[in-house]
Structure 1
Amino acid sequence: MKINLLSIIMGFWFFSCPAQKYNELALRYNSPATMWEETLPLGNGRIGMMPDGGVDSELIVLNDISMWSGSEDPAAFNPTAFDHLAEIRKLLLSGKNLDAQNLMYAHFRSGGLGSAFGQGKDAPYGCFQMLGNMHIWYSYPPDVEKTIHYERKLSLNDAVASTTFTRGDITYSREYFASHSHDVLGTRITASRKKSVSFEVCLSRAERAAISVHDDVIFMEGQLNDGYDTNRGVRYLTKLQIVNKGGTLIASDSSLRVDDADEAVILISTATDMLDKNYESTVDDLLTKAKNILFDKLKVEHINTYKNKFDRVELDLGDQDNITPTNERLANFQSHDDPAFAALYFQFGRYLMISGTNENSLPLNLQGLWANQVQTPWNGDYHLNINLQMNYWPAAVCNLSELHKPLVDFTKSLVPSGEITARKFYNADGWVAHMMTNPWKFTAPGEHASWGATNTGGAWLCSHLWEHYNFTQDKVYLRSIYPVLTGAADFFLHSMIAEPEHGWLVTAPSSSPENAFYLPGDSLPVFVCMGPTMDVQIINELFSNILLAAEILDIEDGHTAKIRKALTKLPPMQISKEGYLQEWLQDYREVEPHHRHVSHLYGLYPSNQISPEITPALAAAARETLNRRGDDGTGWSRAWKINFWSRLHDGNRAYKLLKSLLEPTVDSEVKMRSGGGTYNNLFCAHPPFQIDGNFGGTSGIAEMLIQSQNGYIELLPALPDSWVDGSFKGLCARGGAEVTIKWADKKIKWIILKASTSNTFRLKIPEYVRDIKQNDKDLDVGNGFVELEMDKGEEAKLEITFI
């Protein structure tokens, strides 16, 4: 009877909370946005929009994740690069890194323009671009100008944004969403008095757009530059149609006007031919279906589809403040503890992932899905020296494992290009990707070796392929990715060389992402090196994961034998005389001791090669490294450090970094080196906006609550002092488990473990636990752990008694 009563209480608590007003998850503001970084992001993983909530006029930026200029660039496979590789390696082996670097600057880089130094809009590399703008000009009764009771809101529970205000005695309302069920953008405009909705709407784009109106539908269509000024660029089509209730609809040659309607719904259907060769008929079909569905039904079906993913996870750190505007909560968070705001930010990250990509879409890019320029910063591409990977750190632990699929598929798609790059640049087998890539499968080194030489980008992507298996335990999937993993390993088996002092196998040439050092007695910065620590950690992880996969799949061949042998010849992680982890083979002096990249701590996070429990000396060196590096940095850098400190079980330091990540940033033109923070719409400020910081912050909060990288599940491993009471539902652990817990006074009260797959789960039990029961039976706690053998779908409810 006792356990049944507990179940009833827990079920009531979890399923009643979301419906209560105090637990509503929403971003809210009491004025229109004054810049794009204050607008509210909406998306369904393919298309999106960001309304600014203006009163007299409104700008809504439109997006499509496949709006990419550029095309495949055969010139990137520099045919003369390999001619210089032997000399570069010879110089590195003799300690002449600067000479090797100069040779790389001149010869060992991508052919052609590469990424055009982040200005690739009209280069073959291309650029992720905004789709366009929707402009709305509103008309109101004359002689009434004052606006009161203004509120602009984004509901994370429903993925619906709204704007409401009163003018005179009329209350105006707008609702916006990117339909997860019907794949269109919808905006409904209503008023509290009939015949009070009047506005004009048009579409625009800064370039490469033809605007026309036919049969009361606005068309915007065009073709992006393929980089060669031919007709091979991505084509797009956007259609806007209004479904009005009452009033009149008037069309001009470029706009539509509604006068005196009771209500009007603006529907937008859009697509490109990048992923859909029948994009024109797709646009027509989606628009036709949507306009024949009542808006309320369209909205409900959208919400239900969205909530299927969003509602899997709940985090309660206290009642939400649904009165104070979000920009004020953001500012107040620096000086006042607001645990519920951290929970809101965490769920905003999950919202951005669900809204920014879907199972059949492209991966989240540097800006996710959202951009307001045709030349997006850094081309809005996929940076493989942390940024793309950081986008997916929360996917599995936050119960969105299927959203790994775009990244998995994209990684597989890089293999053919990566094989050419391996052969052309290194005369090596296997496949390789360097620091950056795009939908056109760019895998060559970047055009400047100071940042473009890193050659472990593809191997880092392989860690996500393995992590997807780690959480799902899907052996069919594992077998499908095994050749991708071994292909990445082949490259290193054929391209690594022995360094002269110890005979260790190392990458050469390479770099520690974007960080420079000084050679002894020299004052010029050097980037190019052999075997930086991050490369060693990534290759170690890749080789180790392959051997684990081979054991699971019962594979033992010459391939695994080579990997097993090479694994023993990799350099160890080295601790300097000052106690920090070395970033390079030699303990060079950094040019920037507080550099934003902390790449040599890859082994701490996202990998599991450094741990306070398993490798305490390396963990201490990692702690010293972080103290030496400092807590400042760009937005994503601060987010990464939350994860580092969580892995070191320092919840208060992790929370300090979370506050640093959430430092308000109000200037969209702030330059990168001045440090990051968060904009008023909770977008991460690199600056400028870069979405990886949002996802890194979300994963950091998850790491504070649950960890499972060491072969067991550990709950509340880095709980900050201010999160005294709380609960979470649905976070996931490696091995295939969902976990739900409630804690009070920083002590776990009860746990629900649900098996997503049949497995034996090992749970670490805190020292304050006297006993732990399942169905009123004491569980054996051996050496601080409980083991639960569970079938798929089975739940284990555990009650805890404190000492």
Structure 2
Amino acid sequence: MMKTRWVNIHNKFIKKFAYISLIAFTFFGCNEKKEVEEASALNIWFNQPTNKWNEGLPIGNGNLGAMIYGTPKKEIICLNEETIWTGGKDYNRDKKDAGKHIAAIQKLLFDEKYMEAEAMVQDKILADRLPTGSDTYQMLGNLFIETPNLDSISNYKRALDINKSVVTTNFKSDDVQYTRTYFSSFPDKAMVYKFTADQKGKINISSWVKRNKQTKITVSENSIAFSEHVGNGHGVKFHALVHFETKGGTSTVKDGKLVITDADEVQIKVVASTNYRGLDFEQENYNAINKILKISYNELLDRHIADYQSLFNRLSFKLSDSKGDDFPTDVRLQKVKKGATDNYLTQLQYQFGRYLLISSSRPGTLPANLQGIWANGFTPPWNSDYHININIQMNYWMAEMANLAECHEPFLEYIDGLREMGRITAKKTYNSRGFVAHHTSNIWHATAANGKARYGMWPMGAGWSAQHLFTHYEYTEDKEYLKNKAYPIMREAALFFVDFMVPDPKTGLLVTGPSVSPENNFLTKDGEKATLNMGPAMDREIIFELFRNCIVAAEILNIDKDFSAILKQKIKQMPPLEIGKDGRLLEWVGELKEAQPGHRHISHLYALHPSNQISKSKTPELFEAAKKTIEGRLSKGGGHTGWSRAWIINFYARLLEGNKAYENIIALQRKSTLPNLLDVHPPFQIDGNFGVVSGITEMLMQSHNGEVHVLPALPDAWASGSIKGIVAKKGFEIDMTWELGKLKTLVVTSKLGNTLKLRYNDDVKEIATKKGEVLTFNY
């Protein structure tokens, strides 16, 4: 049954059009999926192979990944399995008797004896940072596939088809056309590779696996099995199986290699697992291989594509009419680095970010780490840790708004997993209830303060992460999730700060410390670099949001009124954000001089993004101060890392500065993007790939202020375009097109039946909706 509602609404901001016609279609009892326009080509492609890992093409299913080099004669496939980690859960990681010294350190900081406080923190609070490689993510291994007698190569192309999540390598040698296809299947929990030629009997390969001396490798006529207890026995145990299935030809074992001769076709299936989740992991692999061997290659491929597209095809984005086949991606990027601009590249970069999240974070898997699931060797940068002072959070800013809510789940589950260790750290280090987490974590859910003070003495990781729990509710309004999952975790994180905050002797206001503004320094009166402070602005901002979210959640659930009363009282006792003499937002208590005015972290703007405490309409003075803060950082060389530049894009979107946001997208492409579009810190770090997606989305739609604001920060360079399938809070899905910088069509699907508060420019309208209703606006 379909009901139609017609409404005419006069709008002052489109006088030349006089009226907007609003046509609302309501579908009852209909779950029919909205049709999505046919996707344009989205290929990252090259005319040459690579011998560099960070120029390969990534595939993944959240658990199993690989980097494909695409070398015809000696293919290298760097294999990854998400739980290949050294180390283990350490219940004695927190410094012994640390809690006895907190009060003394706080007094030193209140007395502005910063260097004495830092020495005491280093000695009495911070655990030693583990040496490189002791708790670290590692590659599963390198799979080599060598093809002899390929001396003459022509018509070469390697490509990642983002629409299908498939990598292909095509080339010609001696008039034979060769095709190699690679994908990683979530439904079948395996990677599948296929080598073919257009003439029979032309596939000749030898294959082997290399890891290290401790790896046990067994080669048979149709498989390579390898296993190891990583970290020299201090880490997970894994088992992996590479199975070869041939059509025609012969297969033998020679010199530790599997040699296939004169085959028409070779299919390779890869499975791997560890004891991280306590499974009978070796038998699981054989069961998985036996299962998929009964399924045809075409069916495996179809199942993979269908599963992937069920997520990816929810959203389409168009800024350019280019088909993407006029220039290889590296050539296209190089043109931009030399001064050109390329809207198709931005369109591709956006969808590549969504591709990477789907490929590295699926329900039931771990969250994406600093490199997603892709790592080369045994000591990746920063161990591929979970850094929870921005990096893992940035990985997931875009999940809900880019219509990938399921991909958010691994991080939400991970936050829950931090509680066990976090309770121990809260009690031992701070004499507090609740749970706490610091800068560095990993798959063992480490929460201890460790390393150096400028990054390690930061007890805000759980508080920041808890924002994601409530964000997920804001998009879904799932009360069962809020009651049984989100609120208990948020409450426990808030409880820590109830105990941890202390009054500032000078003002009587509640502050936190010892703490830092992540990784940044200020100068003392004696000109020394200090990092510790009582009540950095970011601490106040995170706690304010956490307390506010707990209060709202408790009201929604009609529970826990006594605890909410405590939080409301604590909020009244917290200091306000302050503006310095130069008009910028203060980062620390007092007007302290920055040691690095162009520092990559701009932590005190958390209140602008990802929080919504600062806005043009509600806090105009702070809004202007935030703008000056970013301008100051950039004028001193800020934004020099990929993830920092991505955060700046999000900041400028919130500041409604579309052209400046766009300038930083271009800067990201020119300074912090590899030829295969992976982000560089340097080196490769995936958060910049994810952060640019949230930034672009917020340039086109924002919903953090109780309203759906369309085209809030549209740059001049994107005069015409469309985006379909982005999601706003309160369950609204948005499709829109624009021309000559003006909104042309807007379609809003109400998934939950909430009242729609819609803003375009300065005009705001409230429209009551019903669940499943589709509102179409023509401008």
Equivalences for 1:292-371 in 2 at 5 Å?
Answer: 292-320=294-322, 321-334=324-337, 335-371=339-375
Query: What SS does the corresponding residue of 1:738 show, helix, strand or coil?
Result: strand
Corresponding residue for residue 425 of structure 1: 429
Structure 2 Cα separation of the partners of residues 276 and 192 of structure 1: 45
Structure 1 Cα separation of the partners of residues 247 and 434 of structure 2: 61
Q: In 2, are the aligned partners of 1:418 and 1:443 still within 8 Å (CA)?
A: yes
Corresponding residue for residue 11 of structure 2: none
Q: In 2, are the aligned partners of 1:72 and 1:441 still within 8 Å (CA)?
A: yes
Shift of 1:5: 12
1:33-58: CA deviation from partner (whole Å, max 9, x where unpaired): 13111100000000011110112111
CA RMSD across the alignment: 1.9
Corresponding residue for residue 201 of structure 1: 207
Shift of 1:569: 1.0
Corresponding residue for residue 495 of structure 2: 490
2:612 counterpart (601, 608, 611):
608
Give the residue type in structure 1 aligned to 2:261: D
Corresponding residue for residue 779 of structure 1: none
Give the residue type in structure 1 aligned to 2:306: N
Query: What SS does the corresponding residue of 1:305 show, helix, strand or coil?
Result: helix
1:171 has 2:177 as partner? yes
2:90 counterpart (73, 83, 99):
73
Inter-CA distance 291–395: structure 2 relative to 1 (3 Å threshold) = same
Corresponding residue for residue 577 of structure 1: 581
Structure 2 Cα separation of the partners of residues 207 and 552 of structure 1: 57
Give the residue type in structure 1 aligned to 2:45: R
1:17 has 2:38 as partner? yes
Shift of 1:503: 1.3
Corresponding residue for residue 653 of structure 1: 660
Corresponding residue for residue 80 of structure 2: 63
1:716 has 2:711 as partner? yes
Structure 2 Cα separation of the partners of residues 132 and 464 of structure 1: 34
Query: What SS does the corresponding residue of 2:147 show, helix, strand or coil?
Result: strand
1:84-108: CA deviation from partner (whole Å, max 9, x where unpaired): 2121111111111111011111111
Structure 2 Cα separation of the partners of residues 652 and 27 of structure 1: 26
Shift of 1:766: 3.0
Corresponding residue for residue 115 of structure 1: 130
1:788 has 2:767 as partner? yes
Shift of 1:556: 4.4
Equivalences for 1:343-422 in 2 at 5 Å?
Answer: 343-422=347-426
The percent identity for this pair of structures is 38
Give the residue type in structure 1 aligned to 2:511: V
Structure 1 Cα separation of the partners of residues 716 and 278 of structure 2: 51
Query: What SS does the corresponding residue of 1:678 show, helix, strand or coil?
Result: coil
Inter-CA distance 4–792: structure 2 relative to 1 (3 Å threshold) = closer
Q: In 2, are the aligned partners of 1:66 and 1:275 still within 8 Å (CA)?
A: no
Structure 1 Cα separation of the partners of residues 415 and 532 of structure 2: 26
Corresponding residue for residue 147 of structure 2: 138
Structure 1 Cα separation of the partners of residues 386 and 37 of structure 2: 41
1:496-548: CA deviation from partner (whole Å, max 9, x where unpaired): 1111221111111000000000112x121101111100010000000111111
Q: In 2, are the aligned partners of 1:130 and 1:374 still within 8 Å (CA)?
A: yes
Q: In 1, are the aligned partners of 2:536 and 2:587 still within 8 Å (CA)?
A: yes
1:646-673: CA deviation from partner (whole Å, max 9, x where unpaired): 1001111101111111125xxxxxxxxx
1:97 has 2:94 as partner? no
Structure 2 Cα separation of the partners of residues 62 and 756 of structure 1: 40
1:355-374: CA deviation from partner (whole Å, max 9, x where unpaired): 01111001111111100121
2:740 counterpart (745, 750, 754):
745
Structure 2 Cα separation of the partners of residues 749 and 12 of structure 1: 23
Give the residue type in structure 2 aligned to 1:397: M
Corresponding residue for residue 781 of structure 1: none
Structure 1 Cα separation of the partners of residues 639 and 497 of structure 2: 34
Structure 2 Cα separation of the partners of residues 443 and 632 of structure 1: 28
Shift of 1:16: 4.5
Shift of 1:460: 0.4
Structure 2 Cα separation of the partners of residues 145 and 70 of structure 1: 44
Query: Is 246-255 or 610-619 further displaced after alignment?
Result: 246-255
Give the residue type in structure 2 aligned to 1:328: V
Runs of at least 4 residues of structure 1 off by over 6 A?
Answer: 1-7, 11-14
Q: In 2, are the aligned partners of 1:218 and 1:254 still within 8 Å (CA)?
A: no
Give the residue type in structure 2 aligned to 1:150: Y
Structure 1 unaligned residues grouped into runs of 5+: 665-676, 768-783
Structure 2 Cα separation of the partners of residues 12 and 419 of structure 1: 44
Structure 2 Cα separation of the partners of residues 343 and 636 of structure 1: 19
1:212 counterpart (193, 214, 218):
218
Q: In 1, are the aligned partners of 2:220 and 2:258 still within 8 Å (CA)?
A: no
Shift of 1:557: 2.5
Q: In 2, are the aligned partners of 1:337 and 1:722 still within 8 Å (CA)?
A: no
Q: In 1, are the aligned partners of 2:600 and 2:641 still within 8 Å (CA)?
A: yes
2:62 counterpart (9, 33, 45):
45
1:64-116: CA deviation from partner (whole Å, max 9, x where unpaired): 11111101112312122122212111111111111101111111112xx4333
Corresponding residue for residue 726 of structure 2: 731
Corresponding residue for residue 686 of structure 1: 681
Structure 1 Cα separation of the partners of residues 424 and 179 of structure 2: 55
Q: In 2, are the aligned partners of 1:97 and 1:528 still within 8 Å (CA)?
A: yes
Structure 2 Cα separation of the partners of residues 206 and 367 of structure 1: 22
Structure 2 Cα separation of the partners of residues 208 and 462 of structure 1: 40
Corresponding residue for residue 257 of structure 1: 259
Give the residue type in structure 2 aligned to 1:148: S
Structure 2 Cα separation of the partners of residues 787 and 208 of structure 1: 65
Structure 2 Cα separation of the partners of residues 188 and 437 of structure 1: 38
Query: What SS does the corresponding residue of 1:395 show, helix, strand or coil?
Result: coil
Structure 1 Cα separation of the partners of residues 771 and 214 of structure 2: 53
Q: In 1, are the aligned partners of 2:646 and 2:665 still within 8 Å (CA)?
A: yes
1:500 counterpart (505, 509, 534):
505
Q: In 2, are the aligned partners of 1:511 and 1:527 still within 8 Å (CA)?
A: yes
Corresponding residue for residue 52 of structure 2: 35
2:440 counterpart (436, 442, 445):
436
Give the residue type in structure 2 aligned to 1:307: Q
Structure 1 Cα separation of the partners of residues 439 and 740 of structure 2: 45
Query: What SS does the corresponding residue of 1:190 show, helix, strand or coil?
Result: strand
1:289 has 2:294 as partner? no
Query: What SS does the corresponding residue of 1:605 show, helix, strand or coil?
Result: coil
Structure 2 Cα separation of the partners of residues 606 and 166 of structure 1: 50
Inter-CA distance 617–4: structure 2 relative to 1 (3 Å threshold) = closer
TM-score (norm 1): 0.91
Query: What SS does the corresponding residue of 2:611 show, helix, strand or coil?
Result: coil
Query: What SS does the corresponding residue of 1:758 show, helix, strand or coil?
Result: coil
1:545 counterpart (543, 549, 563):
549
Give the residue type in structure 2 aligned to 1:584: W
1:222 counterpart (218, 228, 241):
228
Shift of 1:794: 2.0
Q: In 2, are the aligned partners of 1:146 and 1:167 still within 8 Å (CA)?
A: yes
1:723-782: CA deviation from partner (whole Å, max 9, x where unpaired): 011111100001111100111111111111112222112111335xxxxxxxxxxxxxxx
Corresponding residue for residue 565 of structure 2: 561
Give the residue type in structure 1 aligned to 2:755: T
TM-score (norm 2): 0.94
Corresponding residue for residue 533 of structure 1: 537
Corresponding residue for residue 523 of structure 2: 518
Structure 2 unaligned residues grouped into runs of 5+: 7-20, 26-31
Q: Which has the higher contact order (CA 8 A, sep 6+)?
A: 2
Shift of 1:624: 0.5
Structure 2 Cα separation of the partners of residues 756 and 370 of structure 1: 35
